[in-house]
Structure 1
Amino acid sequence: MENRGIEDMFDFRRFPKDAAVLLLLLIYFPVGICLMLIRIFVGVHVFLVSCALPESFIRRFIVRIMCSVLGMHVRTKNPRSRDKNTKLYICNHVTEFDHNIINLLTPCHTPQLEGSTGFVCWARGFMEIRSASGQGAIGDTLQRYCSTEGTPPLLLFPEEETTNGRAGLLKFSSWPFSLTDSIQPVALRVTRPLIALSTPDSSWMKELLWTFFAPCTVYHVSWLPTVSRQDGESIQEFANKVQEVKPMFAG
């Protein structure tokens, strides 16, 4: 890992460099366009179903099956390792839809820290923090949320930017680790044939259309052991310890 630079963590090209793969992509292109149009239609129904059904295992199962039609497949590893008592999940960040995928497996909320608010925020599956103004206020709000009985766990991405998930992890921001003394890391690996998972500065809407265009996108979710903060351990030390629990990018 020492020989890799930060540029290796991002895909700056949407299309492959390999001539054979590029030729295969050109052959697939009309099929991909048809798939994208069909999946846009199906995606509207997935959204309506997810809105109409109350939160439950049945709802998550139905939506997960429908997402498979959209080309978004979910595979889990060590599902019994999920800690039902934890109030905070920490995950590496690969695509704009990671929070939606984790939410198919277990109820959790991901706050919208920046970007669109209102209907778009809600439609994308984010939890809007209306009262927060600044990082400190956000932390206080989420800390109170974590201490409230009966609320679903939070899901946070301390990298704060998406990467390709192959070369390593961006340095974790320390503030999420101040919310609670016990967290469960979630390792996410995403694979997709023919085209890159994401490119810098691409909008979530473009990423959604490319997801519909691609043959499939497979999300591999692994539940890692719960990590607790020790007495005298600083927040940054806690963050570093969680980041080193296991290479989340290992595939």
Structure 2
Amino acid sequence: METRGIEQMFDFQRLPNDRFILLLLLLYSPVGVCLMLLRIFIGVHVFLVSCALPDSIVRRFIVRIMCSVLGLHVQQNSPRLRDKTARLYICNHVTHFDHNIINLLTSCNTPLLEGPVGFLCWARGFMELGQGVQSRAELTETLRRYCSSPAALPLLLFPEEDTTNGRNGLLKFSSWPFAVSDTIQPVALLVKRPFIAVVITFKTSSVIHC
């Protein structure tokens, strides 16, 4: 059996080593710059639409179409395996936009565990926990009370607590997210990066009852 090191789980350089591909990338760069400016313009409109429309299947459909123009084409595999009664989604962590991508498919909240609060927290699509949550035990209890509310949206947590390339393995999961809810929906994210677009495949596994 081939042994995989932890260094294979991370990409330490963005550009390929192949000189021919680098030449093609250089020739493509003028088109890429124009496309980048266009996508920045469209991205601002995606943000405005997300803020203006209430959370619904209509908003998710519109934003999903607009994100496809941005190169974020989202596909969902095995939708029948998703349990709509699940209160907690557990997912691997590939990019810093994983929670935004999953929100295009289903309504859920991702708590902000670290980083700036206030407007930046809201603009990035995170749920602010407020002041007073200092220890991991308090965090677990706060999120458990949140999940116990019938009107609350499901939670989305990333037990890896850091991003990897998602191709060669997973970081060791933290155990505390599994104490938040008795019903857990495992989710797997697979990111493919062709020459231009980024394709993210959303997979669900059977629900786990603890």
Give the TM-score category using the shorter length: over 0.9
1:130 deviation in Å?
A: 0.5
Bigger mean CA offset, 90-99 vs 185-194:
185-194
Q: How does the TM-score come out when normalised to structure 1?
A: 0.81
Matches within 5 A, 1:156-171: 156-171=157-172
2:197 is the alignment partner of 1:216 = yes
- Name the residue aligned to 1:233: none
Q: How does 1:102-141 map to 2 (within 5 A)?
A: 102-131=102-131, 132-141=133-142
Identical amino acids, percent of aligned pairs: 65
**1:47 aligned counterpart, secondary structure:** helix
1:228 aligns with 209
- State the 1:6 CA deviation: 0.6
Q: TM-score, normalised by structure 2?
A: 0.96
- How many residue pairs match? The answer is 209
CA distance in 1, matches of 2:44, 2:60: 16
Q: Which residue of 2 aligns with 1:9?
A: 9
Counterpart Cα distance in 2 of 1:224 and 1:17: 36
CA distance in 1 between partners of 2:163 and 2:176 (Å): 18
SS of residue in 2 equivalent to 1:110:
coil
Q: How does 1:82-97 map to 2 (within 5 A)?
A: 82-97=82-97
What SS does the corresponding residue of 1:170 show, helix, strand or coil?
coil
User: 1:31: how far off?
Assistant: 1.5
- Any unmatched runs of 5+ in structure 2? none
Structure 1 CA distance for aligned equivalents of residues 24 and 165 of structure 2: 22
Over the residues paired in the alignment, what is the CA RMSD in angstroms? 1.2
Give the Å deviation of 1:2: 5.6
Distance 1:164 1:117 in 2: 27
* Distance in 1, Cα, partners of 2:28 & 2:205: 37
> Is residue 192 from structure 1 mapped to residue 173 from structure 2 by the alignment?
no
Letter of the 1:216 counterpart: A
